[in-house]
Structure 1
Amino acid sequence: MRFDLVDLRLFLHVAEGGSITAGAARAHLSLAAASQRIQELEAALGAALLVRGRRGVQPTPAGEVVVRHARALVRQLAHMEAELAEHAGGLKGQVRVLCNTAALSEYLPQVLAGFMARHAGVDVDLEERPSFDAALAVRAGAADLAIVTDTVDLSGLQAYPFRRDRLVAVAAPAQARRLLGEDVTRPGATVGFSRLADVEQVGLAGDSALFRYLARQAEQSGRLLRARVRVRSFEAVCQVVAGGIGVGIVSEPAARRCAQAMDLAVIELADAWALRRLVVCVRSLDELPRQAQLLVEALRAEWVG
């Protein structure tokens, strides 16, 4: 039985994306061509590989077998390509990275810029995911590495400290005084998330890692987090909040930066979970392609203890 690497990579993209449309886009194929390739792969194997439903597709038990072995093959091929590239005059390849909202917005861009300037032949496939989902994906071999909070289950993974990140609340000063009381606008004031959960929120879009993280925190305290306005970046949250609409929760570096240009009150959260340590997690550093190992090294160098 012969396998086409293009088909195997496509099938991985479909399985990870949850739909043939998403897989086709990542594989740079038309939907019709991707569907035809999947059908031909199923015919060649004599087994259905996907369960098709209204919300997308999922691998069948046979499909899970293909996913497991295809990931191993693609990973080994990436190793070979990287080692050969070093002999051919420059490192080449791709690194798949998953990360949470704070890492994507505040901490990764500068590190990636320096890394990619040093390694012009390396591409980075970067995707935002909640920390829990990102760790699962790395454990399953669906990504080379992830940047997550160390509060998630990291069993079976190697983890290296990257950055500390604090979540804070932002509000227009008048709005903060009206909704939360005079004390929260003074320097050093803190507020519990339970006091904010019932206040109209300006949040990141519902598919963002941070919004889902905050929604879980609200749910644990018996509340339903409601965002009156949803936007796509920390800066946009701060801009809307500065206009007097609700309260936002963002990473502290973004809040402090925006407060220099906007009329914002930055309020520390009293909850222990608001102070987080971001870590880089991998299944096995030694088994990563060389380009991924180098990126992990660059990320680890950012930790200051």
Structure 2
Amino acid sequence: MDIAHLRDFIAVVEAGSLSRAAGRLHVSQPALSQRVAQLEAQLGVRLLVRGPRGVVPTPAGTTLYRDAQQLVRQFDRLARDVADSRNHLHGPVAVGLPTTVAAPLAPALFSWAKAEHPGIHLQLFESMSGYIHELLLAGRLDLAAVFREDDVPRAAEVPLYSEELYLVGQPDPRPDSDEEVPLAGLRAVPLVTPGGRSNLRALIERAFATKGLVPAIVADVESLGTMIRIAAGGEACTILPLSVLRDHGDPRELGVRRIVDPVLRRHVAVRTATEVYEPRDAVIAIRNGIVEVTRHLAGEGRWPGIR
């Protein structure tokens, strides 16, 4: 299988059209079509479905697209590594951080990498956890922070920290305690949370289910800042870790309360893109840097609420 054929196939899938892909690759459309046909013949499966509006991958094509991205990225990095005779670490490292992790970690990680490994080119992606997970599975990231409901060791993961979740906002009626609120007391409290792909949403729904309850989620909000602003406005509450609230006003005015019975806790690990082979040295360096920076921020009290 020719690496050039994989590059062609990736370009076609991302363009959604043979003609558009041919323009980006600076080749003729018939030549590109022939290359894709040769790849299909080599693999013995149909990879694309052609229609009047362009092309879409078949299930086999989707599998090839996901894995081909990792292969091409590895090939390109190998070529750069061999060509570069310098002794220091170098090259790009793509890191995905969910928004609640990126807020405290990303700036400090950038400063650490610039000081410790100036030859490494950081590529930082910040989004909600569901999309970060999709990017990792698609081979677009080298590392990603992932959420877990337990701290069981897993292949290709390094544990990072754990944190508790808090109610943010002023529920009506307000709980008796100014500092804690039982989960069952939130059965009728309107909540805004991320959408269904979010780990946070799944954790909240499962916690309520253990009490035989369904959370009163009134809106899906894929923005950390917007969730906090809605909670501050008083029309709904949200559930978030304490660490993301430090830059959004006085916790007492926001009505921040620790959720108990049960305590909602999640664990965070940093995961590499694959379990099959050892990551590049630059990826390992950044992974170690994430752990070091996290410990440093927690030790200085600059990342409250994590353990």
Deviations 1:204-260 (A, max 9, x none): 466655345535555665525523473622x43223222221111122112344342
| Structure 2: tracts of 5 or more residues without a match | 300-306
Q: Distance in 1 between matches of 2:154 and 2:24?
A: 34
Report if aligned partners of 1:79, 1:290 keep a CA contact under 8 Å in 2: no
Could you tell me how far 1:70 is from its partner in structure 2? 5.3
Shift of 1:198: 3.4
Q: Is the 8 A contact 2:97 2:127 kept in 1?
A: yes
Q: Pairwise mapping of residues 184-195 of structure 1 onto structure 2 (< 5 A)?
A: 184=177, 186-187=178-179, 189-192=180-183, 194-195=184-185
Contact between 2:94 and 2:141, CA under 8 Å: does it hold in 1? Answer: yes
Q: Distance in 2 between matches of 1:279 and 1:225?
A: 29
Q: 5 Å matches for 1:101-120?
A: 101-116=99-114, 118-119=117-118
Q: CA deviation at 1:89?
A: 7.3
1:122 positional shift: 0.7
**8 Å Cα contact 1:97/1:145 also seen in 2:** yes
Report if aligned partners of 2:9, 2:36 keep a CA contact under 8 Å in 1. Answer: no
How far has the Cα of 1:300 moved from its partner? 2.0
Residue 61 of structure 1 aligns with which residue? 60
SS in 2 for 1:258: coil
Q: Specify the alignment match of 1:163 in structure 2.
A: 161
Match of 2:148 in 1: 150
Once the 2 structures are TM-superposed, how far is the Cα of residue 268 of structure 1 from its aligned partner? 0.8
> What TM-score, normalized to structure 2?
0.69
Q: Which has the larger radius of gyration?
A: 2
Query: Structure 1 pair 295/264, CA: closer, same or farther in 2 (3 Å)?
Result: same
The offset of 1:161, in angstroms, is 2.0
The match for 1:280 is 270
Distance 1:8 1:137, change over 3 A: same
Counterpart in the other structure of 1:7: 8
Deviation at 1:170, TM superposition (A): 0.9
Tell me the alpha carbon deviations over residues 93-125 of structure 1, each in whole angstroms, 9 at most, x when there is no partner.
322333434223343342234324542551315
- AA aligned opposite 1:166: E
**Residue in structure 2 matching 1:180, options 174, 184, 193:** 174
Task: Give the direction of change, closer, same or farther, for the CA distance of 1:232–1:156 in structure 2 (3 Å limit).
Answer: closer
8 Å CA contact retained: 1:92, 1:121 = yes
Q: Is the 8 A contact 1:201 1:226 kept in 2?
A: yes
1:290 aligns with 2:281: yes
Superposed counterparts of 1:87-236, under 5 Å: 87-88=85-86, 91-116=89-114, 118-119=117-118, 121-128=120-127, 130=129, 134=133, 138=136, 143-151=141-149, 157-171=155-169, 175-176=170-171, 178-181=172-175, 183-184=176-177, 186-187=178-179, 189-192=180-183, 194-204=184-194, 209-211=199-201, 213-215=203-205, 217-218=207-208, 221-223=212-214, 225-228=216-219, 230=221, 232-233=223-224, 235-236=225-226
**Counterparts of 1:155 and 1:132 in 2: how far apart (Å)?**
23
**Equivalent residue for 1:268, pick from 258, 265, 280:** 258
How far has the Cα of 1:281 moved from its partner?
1.8
SS at match of 1:180: coil
Amino acid at match of 1:107: L
The answer for the alignment partner of 2:242 in structure 1 is 252
| 1:44 maps to 2:38 | yes
1:98–1:127 CA contact under 8 A, matched in 2 = yes
Any stretches of 5+ residues in structure 1 without a counterpart? 15-19
SS at match of 2:173: helix
C-alpha RMSD of the superposition: 4.3
Opposite residue 286 of structure 2, the aligned amino acid is: L
Q: Is the 8 A contact 1:202 1:229 kept in 2?
A: yes
- The Cα shift of 1:169 comes to 0.9
| Aligned residues between the structures | 281
Q: Secondary structure at the residue paired with 1:199?
A: coil
Give the structure 2 partner of residue 17 of structure 1: none
Separation of aligned partners in 2, 1:262 and 1:80? 55
Judged with a 3 Å threshold, the aligned counterparts in structure 2 of structure 1 residues 166 and 8 are, in CA distance, closer, same or farther, namely farther
Q: Residue 50 of structure 1 contacts residue 60 of structure 1 at CA under 8 Å; is this kept in 2? A: no
Cα contact 1:149–1:276 (8 A) shared by 2: yes
